[in-house]
């Protein structure tokens, strides 16, 4: 590809980029669109409300005698009895009191308290409020009727039991019997002294129990805490007649694992034996914990492992959902450095998963990452005392810790929890797992400063590559010596018709001098997998989180030395609204390395030089928002490479290399396979050209 072709392609790319940039809506336009959509939503709700009120104004709802009797029966069956024998049924803004045969109490509707006795009256001076009060009363009564023996558990006191050890603290609510908070005590968030994975507002899960005609959702019920200790609690529903259903939680000392066991007694009296499954639903709004939101957002989402299969995940950068019929071993809601994982002792049957990121400009964008959900089924038998068991992992995405749980939680199953760390594709992941991480962990045991650990890790990598790098430098020196001879060959055999001759003469020159033009590429081929592996390692390395070095406060986040508030369309998505110092140093060093590299090469196309200098500037744009530890590693690697280059030039004399090449050229050479192929191709080309000339000559003679 010549210089004009390259220039043309770049100009076309610039035009396309410019068109896309000009067509992209501004932040003001996006904000205006959001405001318009919100205004339309509010207007639609207002109109719907107005239509409902107009309908209600014309029709006063009435209560039948059967409904009154149903309400009275519900209070008798499920209401609490005081010392005077008065029964009260209270839930969600509805309080019905039965004293004798009289039904009284109140219904709260939009801040207005409506008398139950008045609501049961078939006339009213305020039809809208009257109708709404009756609708709310019916909803609560139907809820009790629908839930049957579970109805007595619809009311209660929402109390919280806390289990904790040195590493983890979880809060378990009696409403729903679920874990409503998980706090990692050894880690801090960018805006809090501890990392709270979720709270009652951002996490919920529940089991769904079914009969042939009814569905019971455990999140609606109030459980009774029993067997309470610092590390154990049983949340139980007493359904009467000896039937009990509960969830037992156990937190082991110094562990991030919470066992969750479903326990029951005599549930065959409630759930028929022909019901083979129970439902499970888990929803979470993933909290933000890092100052650098871009990487945390790109590394958050839903991960899952197929039973006996691989680990996969929903898209981490866009809205995504899946509907599976497969069996699953575990599911995880993860962000960059922390995860909530639910592991089944047996398996989950089928699943519906969903992940929805928050859009910029929305009210929740700065505090949260995504809304995620998981819905599935679990094998169930009402006759089993322990029909299902699970283990929650609430903890850091630390490779050593996850590898330990891989080996110990279910020894017969390969959990592959380490796949929660996005360490790259197969080769890159292999390099990280068996080379980079072991060295990093070993150095970290003896050195407390993460910046020094990265320095030593970089030096070790460069030492491993040094023999190949040295061979590359020797090859470059030989290419510089041969540059005049190669130029002479190119000048002598110009044109496309002499391409084969030019290639043969060049290869003959390389062969005589003992030069392999491809040997200089070997170190690059070896370095590229390491570069990509390190690119994936640093954003996943929780050991760098919160670690300071020189001016850097957090090696896992950008080291911004200058920030601004303005949002530059398209550019801000990659570059951010700051300048990172280590990224800037890496760019300067990369430019110096480019100059040194081009001066070391004896056959550099002049038209490519400006493109070589453009690459470091592109890296500045894309790496400015990355972790400071990554830019610091690339800066050190480039700096050491430059030092190596000048060191080799200092100790390796070109006169000595020239003498070795001359001695090599005098030795008899056996033609290799490639040289023989070139000669044969040249002979065929020459024969074809002679035949073409003969035909042209004969044609002219006939004319």
Q: Does residue 21 have a pLDDT over 50?
A: no
Q: Does residue 602 have a pLDDT over 50?
A: no
Three-state DSSP at 308 gives coil
Q: Which residue has the higher pLDDT, 380 or 657?
A: 380
What kind and span of H or E run contains 645?
helix 628-651
Q: What is the structure's pLDDT at 451?
A: 92
Q: Which residue has the higher pLDDT, 225 or 157?
A: 225
Of the candidates 288, 282, 280, which has an alpha carbon nearest to the alpha carbon of residue 370?
288
Are residues 163 and 233 in contact, defined by beta-carbon separation less than 8 angstroms? yes
**579 is written with which tokens?**
């300048």
Residue that has been written with the tokens 């509805």 in this structure: 94
Q: What is the structure's pLDDT at 19?
A: 45
| 506-515 tens-digit pLDDT | 676 666 666 6
| 454-487 tens-digit pLDDT | 999 999 988 887 777 777 776 666 666 666 666 7
Q: What is the structure's pLDDT at 124?
A: 65
Are residues 169 and 180 in contact, defined by beta-carbon separation less than 8 angstroms? no
| 299-317 tens-digit pLDDT | 899 999 999 899 999 998 8
CA atoms of 99 and 475, how far apart (whole Å): 101
- Among 197-211, 382-396, 639-653, the range scoring the smallest mean pLDDT is 639-653
Phi-psi region of 570 (alpha: psi -120 to 50; beta: other; left: phi over 0): left
Q: Does residue 373 have a pLDDT over 80?
A: yes
Q: Does residue 262 have a pLDDT over 90?
A: yes
Of the candidates 212, 281, 268, which has an alpha carbon nearest to the alpha carbon of residue 239?
268
Three-state DSSP at 217 gives strand
**565 is written with which tokens?**
């508030």
Q: What is the structure's pLDDT at 56?
A: 47
- Among 36-40, 294-298, 412-416, 596-600, the range scoring the smallest mean pLDDT is 36-40
| Bridge partner residues of 160 (DSSP) | 173
- Among 42-46, 183-187, 300-304, 614-618, the range scoring the smallest mean pLDDT is 42-46
Q: What is the structure's pLDDT at 385?
A: 93
Residue that has been written with the tokens 């009990």 in this structure: 244
pLDDT bucket at 560, cuts 50 / 70 / 90: confident
pLDDT bucket at 593, cuts 50 / 70 / 90: confident
Mean pLDDT of 32-49: 60
| 212-245 tens-digit pLDDT | 878 889 999 999 999 888 889 999 999 888 899 9
Residue 644, Cβ density class (10 Å: 0-12 exposed, 13-18 middle, ≥19 buried): middle
CB neighbourhood size of 24 (10 A): 11
CA atoms of 611 and 6, how far apart (whole Å): 9
| 48-105 tens-digit pLDDT | 565 555 454 456 677 777 778 878 888 887 777 887 888 887 777 888 888 887 888 8
Q: Does residue 29 have a pLDDT over 60?
A: no
* Long-range contacts, 194-201 (Cβ 8 Å, 24+): 195/289, 195/338, 196/287, 197/287, 197/338, 197/340, 197/394, 198/284, 198/285, 198/286, 198/287, 198/340, 200/171, 200/173, 201/285
pLDDT bucket at 285, cuts 50 / 70 / 90: very high
Q: What is the structure's pLDDT at 313?
A: 93
Q: What is the structure's pLDDT at 389?
A: 96
Q: What is the structure's pLDDT at 306?
A: 94
pLDDT > 90 fraction of the chain, expressed in percent and rounded = 32
Are residues 627 and 538 in contact, defined by beta-carbon separation less than 8 angstroms? yes
Q: What is the structure's pLDDT at 364?
A: 86
| 512-539 tens-digit pLDDT | 666 666 655 666 676 788 888 888 898 8
CA atoms of 172 and 175, how far apart (whole Å): 9
Mean pLDDT of 143-161: 83
Domain 160-422 carries which CATH code?
A: 2.70.98.90
Q: Does residue 420 have a pLDDT over 90?
A: yes
pLDDT > 70 fraction of the chain, expressed in percent and rounded = 72
Mean pLDDT of 415-419: 93
| 308-364 tens-digit pLDDT | 899 999 998 889 999 999 999 999 999 999 999 999 999 999 999 999 998 877 788
CA 208 to each of CA 123, 282, 327, 648: distance values in angstroms, whole numbers, following the listed order = 40, 11, 18, 71
Are residues 376 and 351 in contact, defined by beta-carbon separation less than 8 angstroms? yes
Kindly state the DSSP code that residue 174 receives in the 8-state scheme.
Answer: S
CB neighbourhood size of 366 (10 A): 10
Mean pLDDT of 649-658: 62
CA atoms of 669 and 512, how far apart (whole Å): 7
Q: What is the structure's pLDDT at 416?
A: 92
User: How many DSSP H helices and E strands does the chain contain?
Assistant: 18, 24
Residue 687's φ and ψ, nearest 5 degrees, are: -65, -40
CA atoms of 310 and 526, how far apart (whole Å): 28
Q: How far apart are the first and last CA of the chain?
A: 41
Q: What is the structure's pLDDT at 176?
A: 94
CA atoms of 176 and 223, how far apart (whole Å): 7
Three-state DSSP at 431 gives helix
Q: What is the structure's pLDDT at 1?
A: 45
What kind and span of H or E run contains 455?
helix 450-492
Q: What is the structure's pLDDT at 32?
A: 53
CA atoms of 172 and 165, how far apart (whole Å): 15
């Amino acid at each position: 590809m010549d210089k004009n072709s390259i220039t043309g392609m770049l100009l076309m790319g610039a035009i396309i980029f410019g068109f896309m940039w000009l067509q992209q809506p501004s932040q003001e336009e996006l904000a205006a669109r959001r405001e318009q959509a919100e205004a339309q939503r509010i207007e639609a709700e207002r109109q719907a409300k107005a239509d409902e009120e107009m309908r209600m104004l014309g029709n006063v709802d009435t209560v039948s005698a059967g409904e009154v009797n149903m309400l009275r029966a519900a209070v008798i069956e499920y209401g609490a009895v005081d010392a005077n024998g008065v029964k009260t049924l209270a839930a969600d803004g509805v309080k019905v009191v039965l004293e004798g045969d009289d039904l009284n109490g109140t219904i709260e509707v939009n801040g207005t308290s409506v008398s139950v006795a008045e609501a049961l009256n078939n006339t009213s001076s305020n039809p809208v409020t009257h109708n709404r009060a009756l609708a709310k009363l019916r909803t609560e009564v139907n809820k009790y009727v629908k839930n049957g023996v579970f109805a007595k558990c619809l009311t209660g006191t929402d109390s919280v039991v806390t289990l904790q050890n040195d590493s983890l603290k979880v809060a378990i609510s009696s409403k729903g019997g679920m874990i409503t908070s998980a706090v990692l005590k050894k880690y801090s968030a960018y805006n809090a002294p501890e990392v709270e994975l979720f709270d009652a507002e951002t996490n919920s899960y529940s089991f769904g129990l079914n009969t042939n005609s009814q569905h019971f959702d455990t999140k609606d019920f109030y459980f009774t805490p029993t067997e309470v200790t610092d590390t154990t609690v049983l949340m139980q529903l007493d359904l009467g007649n000896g039937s009990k259903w509960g969830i037992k939680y156990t937190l082991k000392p110094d562990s991030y694992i919470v066992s969750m066991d479903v326990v029951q007694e005599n549930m065959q009296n409630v759930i028929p034996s022909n019901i083979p499954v129970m439902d499970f639903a888990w929803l979470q709004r993933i909290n933000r914990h890092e100052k650098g939101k871009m990487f945390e957002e790109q590394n958050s989402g839903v991960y899952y492992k197929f039973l006996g299969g691989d680990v996969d995940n929903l898209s981490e950068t866009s809205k995504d959902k899946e509907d599976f019929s497969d069996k699953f071993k575990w599911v995880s809601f993860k962000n960059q450095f922390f995860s909530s994982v639910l592991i089944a002792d047996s398996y989950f049957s089928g699943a519906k998963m969903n992940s929805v990121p928050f859009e910029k400009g929305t009210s929740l964008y700065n505090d949260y990452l995504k809304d995620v959900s998981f819905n599935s089924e679990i094998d169930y038998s009402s006759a089993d005392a322990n029909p299902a068991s699970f283990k929650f992992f609430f903890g850091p995405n630390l490779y050593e810790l996850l590898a330990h749980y891989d080996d110990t939680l279910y020894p017969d199953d390969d959990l592959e929890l380490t796949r929660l760390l996005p360490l790259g594709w197969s080769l890159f992941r292999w390099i990280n797992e068996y080379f980079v991480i072991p060295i990093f962990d070993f150095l970290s045991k003896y050195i407390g400063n993460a910046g020094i650990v990265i320095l030593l890790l970089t030096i070790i990598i460069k030492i491993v590559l040094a023999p190949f790098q040295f061979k590359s430098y020797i090859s470059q020196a030989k290419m510089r010596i041969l540059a005049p001879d190669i130029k002479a060959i190119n000048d002598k055999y110009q044109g496309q018709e002499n391409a084969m001759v030019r290639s043969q003469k060049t290869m003959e020159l390389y062969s005589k001098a003992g030069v392999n033009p491809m040997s200089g590429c070997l170190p690059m081929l070896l370095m590229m997998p390491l570069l990509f592996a390190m690119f994936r390692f640093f954003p996943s390395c929780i050991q760098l989180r919160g670690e300071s070095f020189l001016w850097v406060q957090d090696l896992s986040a950008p080291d911004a030395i200058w920030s601004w508030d303005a949002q530059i369309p398209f550019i801000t998505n990659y570059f951010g609204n700051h300048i990172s110092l280590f990224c800037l140093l890496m760019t300067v060093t990369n430019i110096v390395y480019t100059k040194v590299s081009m001066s070391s090469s004896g056959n550099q196309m002049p038209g490519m030089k400006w493109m070589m200098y453009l690459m470091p500037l592109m890296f500045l744009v894309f790496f400015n928002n990355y972790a400071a530890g990554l830019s610091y590693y690339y800066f050190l690697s480039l700096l050491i490479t430059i030092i190596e280059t000048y060191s080799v030039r200092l100790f390796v004399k070109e006169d000595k290399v020239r003498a070795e090449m001359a001695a090599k050229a005098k030795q008899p050479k056996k033609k290799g396979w490639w040289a023989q192929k070139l000669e044969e191709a040249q002979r065929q080309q020459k024969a074809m050209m002679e035949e073409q000339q003969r035909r042209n000559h004969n044609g002219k003679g006939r004319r």
